[in-house]
C-alpha cells in the first residue's frame, strides 16, 4: 500500500457549493463584466487542482496563476487559452512553453514584450502599473512602439488598496482608463475581490477575484454574501489528566490552576497553524464545545483544554476555529496569509 492511501490525521474540509456560490455572487456583483478567478498559490492554499474544474463548471473562463510551474495542477482541467501567468515570461523556456501550449503570458515590462515578440509573439495580456510600483509597464512607457506589436487580450492593472476608501482607487482607475485609450486590447480588467465592490466604473470586461472566492471578506459590505469555504480538521492523538501546578508544552507557558484533562492534536506551525495561535486559538469538539489552545503551538502538535468535552478519545476529530475575518483579528495575520499558510500535510 502506498503511504498516500493512509488516512491522514489532518484534513481541510472544503465546501464545493460555497466556492461555486461565491464565484456566482462575485460574477453577479461584477455586473456586465465577467468574473475570472485568481487560482495562484495553489488556489490560495486550498488546492488549485480541486478548485479549477469547479470554477469552470460555475462558468468561469479566465484564470490567473502567478508562476509557470503552477500550470501543472490546473491544465488538466482547463483549456490553456483560459489561463494567464501573472509573472510573465522571464526565461526563454517560459516563452517557448507559452507559444507551444497557448497559455497567455501577462507582459509586465518592455523587456518581456520584446522577448515575446522576438519568439514570434501571439495572444497575450498586458499589465500596466497605475500606482503599485510592483509589476507592469509604466504609464510613461505606453507609447513605446514595441507594445504596438503585441496582440493584447486583457489590459490589466491592479489596485493597491481597494479594501479601503481612499483617493488612490479613483486615481488608479483614471490611469487605467487612460491606458485603455493608448493600447489596443480586447478586454480591460482592474478589480480584484475588493475592487468589485467599488462599482461598475472599476469592472471593465473581466474582474479578477481571489480571496473572496475562498471565503475571505476584504470589505465589510461583502460579509453577508460571501460563504466560508474551508475548515481545518485535526485528529486527537492523545488524552491525559494533569494535576494542579503542572505545565503544558514548550517553555511551560501554561500552568494548570486545577486538575484538568488535556488533549494533544496533530496540528502545528509546520501546517500553518503558527505560534501566534498559542494561548489564543480554539478547536471544537464534534458537539461544538470550545477547546482552547493551551501553551505554545509546536511544529507538529497543539495541546488543547478538554474540560468542556472530557469524553473525547484518541482518534476523534476536532475542527479548528478559522473564520477568516475573526482569525485575522485574533492573530494579526492577513486573511490571505491564513489561507496560503495551510500546509502540505492537510489532506485536501
Q: Catalytic residue positions? A: 40, 250
Size of the site for ligand PLP (CB under 6 A): 12
Q: How far is 94 from 339, CA to CA, in rounded Å? A: 28
Burial of 167 by CB count in 10 Å (0-12 exposed, 13-18 middle, 19+ buried)?
exposed
If one asks whether residue 82 binds ligand PLP (CB under 6 A), the answer comes out as no
User: Among all residues, whose Cβ is closest to ligand PLP?
Assistant: 210
If binding is defined by CB under 6 A, does position 193 make contact with ligand PLP?
Answer: yes
Nearest C-alpha neighbor of 190 from the set 163, 165, 216, 169: 169
Q: Which is nearer to ligand PLP, 23 or 269 (CB)?
A: 23
SS (HEC) of 227-269: CCCEEEEEEEEEEEEECCCCEECHHHCEECCCCEEEEEECCCH
- Length of the chain counted residue by residue: 348
Give the residue with the Cβ less far from ligand PLP, 214 or 273. Answer: 214
Least spacing, CB of residue 159 vs ligand PLP, in Å: 8
User: Counting contacts by CB under 6 A, is residue 339 touching ligand PLP?
Assistant: no
Name which of residues 25 to 54 contact ligand PLP (CB under 6 A).
38, 40
* Phi, psi (rounded to 5 degrees) for 18: -65, -40
- Out of 39, 86, 217, 248, the only residue in the binding site for ligand PLP (CB under 6 A) is 86
Chain centroid to Cα 278, Å, comes to: 24
Q: How far is the CB of 289 from ligand PLP (least distance, A)?
A: 34
DSSP 82: G
209 contributes a contact to ligand PLP by CB under 6 A:
yes
Q: Quick one: cell of 277?
A: 495561535
Instruction: For CA atoms 11, 263, 302, 293, give the dihedral sign.
Output: positive
Q: Which of 65, 179, 211, 283 lies at the binding interface for ligand PLP (CB under 6 A)? A: 211
Q: How far is the CB of 6 from ligand PLP (least distance, A)?
A: 34
Q: C-alpha cell of 75?
A: 491544465
Can you tell me whether residue 35 is helix, strand or coil?
A: strand
CA angle 126, 137, 29 (to 5 degrees): 50
Positions in 262-301 near ligand PLP (CB under 6 A): none
Per DSSP, the three-state class of 141 is helix
Candidate segments 88-96, 187-195, 240-248, 304-312, binder of ligand PLP by CB under 6 A? 187-195
Contact region with ligand PLP (CB under 6 A), list: 73-81, 189-197, 266-274, 338-346: 189-197
Q: Which stretch binds ligand PLP (CB under 6 A): 94-102, 112-120, 186-194, 303-311?
A: 186-194
The residue from 11, 87, 158, 185 that contacts ligand PLP (CB under 6 A) is: 158
What is the greatest pairwise CA distance in the chain?
A: 77
List contacts with ligand PLP (CB under 6 A). Answer: 38, 40, 86, 158, 192-194, 208-211, 218
Amino acid at each position: 500500500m502506498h503511504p498516500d492511501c493512509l488516512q491522514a490525521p489532518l484534513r481541510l474540509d472544503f465546501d464545493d457549493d460555497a466556492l461555486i456560490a461565491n464565484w456566482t455572487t462575485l460574477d453577479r456583483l461584477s455586473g456586465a463584466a465577467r468574473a475570472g478567478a485568481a487560482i495562484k498559490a495553489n488556489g490560495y492554499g486550498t488546492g488549485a487542482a480541486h478548485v479549477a474544474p469547479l470554477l469552470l463548471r460555475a462558468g468561469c473562463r479566465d484564470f490567473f496563476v502567478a508562476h509557470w510551474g503552477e500550470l501543472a495542477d490546473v491544465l488538466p482541467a482547463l483549456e490553456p487559452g483560459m489561463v494567464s501567468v501573472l509573472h510573465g515570461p522571464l526565461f526563454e523556456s517560459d516563452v517557448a512553453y507559452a507559444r507551444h501550449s497557448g497559455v497567455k503570458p501577462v507582459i509586465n515590462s518592455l523587456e518581456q514584450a520584446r522577448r515575446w515578440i522576438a519568439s514570434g509573439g501571439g495572444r497575450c495580456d498586458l499589465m500596466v502599473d497605475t500606482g503599485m510600483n510592483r509589476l507592469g509597464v509604466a504609464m510613461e512607457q505606453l507609447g513605446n512602439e514595441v507594445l504596438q506589436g503585441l496582440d493584447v487580450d486583457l489590459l490589466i492593472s491592479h489596485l493597491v488598496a481597494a479594501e479601503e476608501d481612499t483617493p488612490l482607487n479613483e486615481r488608479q482607475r483614471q490611469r487605467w482608463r487612460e491606458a485603455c485609450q493608448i493600447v489596443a486590447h480586447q478586454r480591460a480588467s482592474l478589480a480584484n475581490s475588493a475592487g468589485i465592490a467599488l462599482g461598475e466604473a472599476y469592472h471593465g470586461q473581466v474582474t479578477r477575484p481571489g480571496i473572496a472566492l475562498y471565503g475571505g471578506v476584504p470589505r465589510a459590505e461583502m460579509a453577508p454574501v460571501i460563504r466560508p469555504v474551508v475548515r481545518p480538521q485535526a485528529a486527537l492523538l492523545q488524552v491525559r489528566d494533569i494535576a494542579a501546578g503542572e505545565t503544558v508544552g514548550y517553555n511551560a507557558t501554561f500552568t494548570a490552576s486545577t486538575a484538568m484533562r488535556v488533549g494533544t492534536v496533530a496540528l502545528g506551525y509546520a501546517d500553518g497553524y503558527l505560534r501566534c495561535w498559542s494561548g489564543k486559538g480554539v478547536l471544537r469538539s464534534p458537539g461544538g464545545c470550545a477547546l482552547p489552545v493551551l501553551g505554545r503551538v509546536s511544529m507538529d502538535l497543539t495541546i488543547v483544554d478538554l474540560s468542556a468535552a472530557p469524553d473525547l478519545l484518541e482518534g476523534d476529530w476536532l475542527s479548528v476555529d478559522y473564520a477568516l475575518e475573526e482569525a485575522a483579528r485574533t492573530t494579526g495575520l492577513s486573511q490571505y496569509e491564513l489561507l496560503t499558510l495551510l500546509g502540505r500535510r492537510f489532506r485536501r
